[in-house]
Amino acid sequence: MAEKDFDLKGALEYAIHAEIQANEFYKVWADNVTSQLTKKELLELADWEDSHRASLEKYYREAIGEPFKRNPNIVVDPALQVQADEFKNYYSTLRVAAAAYLSEMKAADLYEKLQSKVTEEGAKKMFKELAEMERSHMDYALKRYNELRGELEGKLML
């Protein structure tokens, strides 16, 4: 995105769609697992994404002067979508943590890029805060991944 081509409305619409898709992904995954722990963690991730969506929609309404309307024609770059290889065939909290870490990292990178593109201080602040939240979610996912990996290694040693 070149400076002169930057479009705040388009950037906000894209970011909101990314949060919606992440939220939907985690909810669908949660609906398809039997482990209550995995389901709980996936629903927590879905809640995080929903709170980001709400923040972005609020800012959209304030900055653009109209409520956000979902556009079915907006496709989020696959690199920004939550991904988990073969998630339908292999459900584990370890994979949830790994997928969450990568998703939060990609989202943080997006918000940092958007922060550098906007000129309005309110938008800069909002994108900075969202990036920081995503980075804290990365830390949580990494911590959880390491805990789970340790538990799994402990069981394998028995």
Q: CATH number of the domain that 72 lies in?
A: 1.20.1260.10
73: pLDDT confidence band, cut at 50, 70 and 90? confident
Domain extent, residue 11, equals 3-157
pTM higher than the cut 0.85: no
Specify the DSSP class assigned to residue 138: H
- In the three-class reduction of DSSP (H, G, I as helix; E, B as strand; rest coil), residue 9 is classed as helix
Give the distance between the most distant pair of CA atoms in the chain. 61
In angstroms, rounded to a whole number, what is the distance separating the alpha carbons of residues 91 and 72?
29
Domain count, the chain: 1
**Distance between CA atoms of residues 82 and 102, nearest Å:** 8
Portion of the chain with pLDDT greater than 70, in percent: 80
How many whole angstroms separate alpha carbon 39 and alpha carbon 29? 8
Over residues 7-44, the pLDDT tens digits come to 889 889 989 998 998 898 889 888 877 878 888 888 99
